[in-house]
Structure 1
Amino acid sequence: MPLVRIDLLAGQSSEYRSALADEVYKAMTSTLKVPENDRFMVISEYQPSDFIADPTYLGISRSRDCVIVQITLNAGRDIDMKRTFYKALADGLHTRIGLRREDLFISLVEVAKENWSFGNGIAQYT
């Protein structure tokens, strides 16, 4: 059910990008109750002039290594579950690839179940 978009500056290795995707999937399945094999992700890289992340918004010191993770998913998860996810992902990325926790920007976009079609022109969740 989730669609994950990962945005970052160009120049990271394929191993780095794979680790980003793996850790997002791991955090989603362990904290948000995302089903196994429900893995749909797009990773996009940008030139510095096309990737803008304010370096000090809300008093958080971001570097040029900032990664933006946007996840579109079914509505219904409570705030505690979301907070657990945010922490699990930040911790997982920090441990695995050394991403500073300050450099992870996460946005969850909740939608109703009828807004999905996984193929064949069918709304599978209705």
Structure 2
Amino acid sequence: MPLIQVDLDRSLYESSHDAIGRAIHDAQIEALGIPADDRFQVFRPREEGELKFDPAYNGVARDSLVLIQITAVHMYPVAVKRKLFETIAAKLGPLGIHAEDLLISLVENGFEDWFAGR
């Protein structure tokens, strides 16, 4: 049950949050094999100037920043995590979100750190 938190410009949120949410969820289904009803997402729209980033960090040209934080149980091998990152970027590309503008962070913990109603 990954928990997805997305920080993005308010204008992008207002125009595309449904499609962004679907794309991220579809990427999780494809890359992680999660059930279709395992969708937990929080969007945090930000006003201009609230997201600070270096537009040339690590030799990548960035125009904006979409920050995706994923919290998940520690159970996925490195190759699966990389596939998730690549799949998210591929699914967001058609929405006009460039891979260069993404920062995805995966934080892992144990099953004992979760409660989902039961």
TM-score tier, shorter chain, comes to over 0.9
Q: How many residues align?
A: 118
TM-score normalised by the chain length of structure 2: 0.92
Larger radius of gyration: 1
**1:26 matched residue in structure 2:** 26
Percent identical across equivalent pairs? 32
Output aligned runs, 1:100-119, within 5 Å: 100-119=98-117
Runs of 4 or more, structure 1, over 4 Å off, are none
Range with bigger deviation, 8-17 or 51-60: 8-17
Q: Per-residue CA shift, 1:46-68, capped at 9, x if unaligned?
A: 1123211221111111112x211
Distance (whole Å) between structure 1 residues aligned to residue 78 and residue 61 of structure 2: 24
Unaligned runs of 5+ in 2: none
Letter in 2 for 1:41: Q
User: How far, CA to CA, are the matches of 1:15 and 1:63 in structure 2?
Assistant: 17
Residues 1-56 of structure 1: CA deviation (Å, up to 9, x unaligned): 11100110111254511111101100001111222201010001111232112211
* TM-score, normalised relative to structure 1: 0.87
Q: 1:72 — aligned with what?
A: 71
What are structure 1's unaligned runs of at least 5 residues?
none
Kindly tell me: are residues 77 and 13 of structure 1, through their superposed partners in 2, closer, same or farther at Cα, counting changes over 3 Å? closer
- Structure 2 counterpart SS, 1:61: coil
